[in-house]
Amino acid sequence: MSELAYLDVASASALLRSKKLSPVEYARALIERVEKLDRNLNAFLRFTPDLALEDARKAEAEITRGQWRGTWHGVPYALKDIVDYAGLPTTAHSKILRDNVARADAAVTQRLRGAGAIFMGKLSTHEFAIGGPSFDLPWPPARNPWNRDHFSGGSSSGSGAATAAGFVPAAIGTDTGGSVRNPASMCGIVGLKPTYGLVSRRGVVPLSFSLDHVGTMTRNVRDNALMLDLIAGHDPADPGSANHASGGYTAQLDRDIKGLRIGVIRHFYTRDMQADPEMAQGIEHALAELARLGAEVREITTAPLDDYVACNRTILTGEAFAIHEQWMRERPQDYGALARERLMAGAFVRAADYVNATRLRRKLTEQFHACFAEVDVVVTLSSMDPACRIDDPKAVEYTYARQSRAPFNVTGSPALSVPTGFSSAGLPLSMQLVGRPFSEALIYRVAHAYERATRWHERRPPLEV
């Protein structure tokens, strides 16, 4: 069971296609693992073993008949529970939507189901992707597989925990101010916020129309690129969808990085905020490794981190309140305390504040994109601190705000969180790689070179101990 739990997607796909591994055998192994271990992690909000076995039997029959659908045929996945799966509730981890049954699949769900992937269930999130970790909701919050007393990050909390714990090789998350990259950082996996508009948001409960992204969460870089290959693409039904060519995200993975120019935004974590020493040491060691691999590493300066964060906060809270205003007026008691408090902040965003934030956003975006005249990829921290205890609300609130992910929701840039080691307490460390719009293949190339050289992604949480 443990061996199958940590199969990467590429290896599993090869075994499935050659009939050396049965989709049913694979699904049953992961089902057994979830049943044994998730009671301590709460990664799944709605576990669906019957649907998984139904998908697996169908995949096995198709593969036996030679009807191979591609890389994801027979490979398990799970969805953050703000993503629709037809016939199942999409609750957003909230009492408000407890009985909200999806009438159709989300766009990303359609692509995964169409590829023959095996649906394992719906994953925990922070309430409406903003309020958490919360203990006053119908379902408990997800916990960190590296230490269940610690925070798994959010808001794609269950997606991070399930992937790191070996419950699924890949999961879908969403990211409005860092909600894919935060749990990826906390749980020691790879998480991508793609370029704004690259992946359709149709069928996803919105938080902020102009900042929301659907992202990919896996245990290694290649699997992440394979998942993006599947789910990226233009969708006329999503007003924010980009009509831009997609695919080919694995094409550069095996190339070296000699001569690539890497710009480091060091002031985010040394001057604008002071990062935890171990997190800072992790990224500095990573930069030294990238230089050893032949990249040209140089320091660059952008607008202060606070400018990006304030811009993101104003737009996010204003748009979120506009989405939730009716429920906030009619059913405020049905929200958890954290979501209610964070959403209510949007009621005090003036129209002038919102307009000025959107004007600042354009300025910040143009300034940041100008950096790519001098560099190919940008590197900075994702989280400033390793995961804190989940039962310490003050620590959660403090560390949640200590991040440099929000800038790239403001700019819409692709941003990838990757592991850089472990703290003295055994908790994951991480950094993020950022590129110009639609440069995901190049970011993956750099991340994969680093991953091969360091092998941090091969460590496993001590769940069986």
Question: How many angstroms separate the CA atoms of 24 and 62, rounded?
Answer: 12
Catalytic residue among 13, 22, 80, 124: 80
- Categorise residue 420: left if φ over 0, alpha if ψ from -120 to 50, beta otherwise: alpha
Q: What is the DSSP string of 10-67?
A: HHHHHHHHTTSS-HHHHHHHHHHHHHHHGGGT--EEEE-HHHHHHHHHHHHHHHHTT-
- Report whether the peptide linkage leading into residue 383 is cis, meaning its omega lies within 30 degrees of zero: no
Residue 350 CB-half CA count within 13 A: 3
Is 155 noted as a catalytic residue in this protein? yes
Of the candidates 117, 144, 141, the one whose C-alpha atom is nearest the C-alpha of residue 52 is 117
Q: Which two tokens stand for residue 177?
A: 């101010």
Three-class DSSP category at 196: coil
Catalytic residue among 152, 179, 241, 423: 179
Q: Which two tokens stand for residue 440?
A: 């995901």
Catalytic residue among 22, 134, 152, 155: 155
Three-class DSSP category at 209: coil
Point out the residues that are catalytic. Answer: 80, 155, 179
